[in-house]
Amino acid sequence: MEGDSQLELYEAVAARLKEAHTKVRELQVPEGVRMALSRKLLVVTAAAKHDLADAAARLDRLMKDLDEGRFPEGD
């Protein structure tokens, strides 16, 4: 049973990552900001390989920041 819930969480995180990548790609922001957001998405993706719950929490925070218009500084 635990494997089923883990699989559901994995599928949810994968779908939200796809949504986040699309959202970042469509943002009208300077390239440096887009790159910083892409790096954050890569960190979440890497975290998902080791700690899926942590990756889900990181992704939730990132999506909230995007929805509220809070973007990292560009290079």
- Residue 13 near residue 59, CB atoms below 8 Å: yes
pLDDT reported for residue 73: 81
Tens-place pLDDT, residues 22-34: 999 999 999 999 9
* pTM score of the predicted model: 0.83
Q: DSSP of the chain, one letter per residue?
A: -HHHHHHHHHHHHHHHHHHHHHHHHH----HHHHHHHHHHHHHHHHHHTT-HHHHHHHHHHHHHHHHTT--PPP-
Calpha distance 68→63 (Å, rounded): 9
Q: How confident is the model at residue 5 (pLDDT cuts 50, 70, 90)?
A: confident
Structure token digits, residue 66: 């995007």
pLDDT reported for residue 35: 94
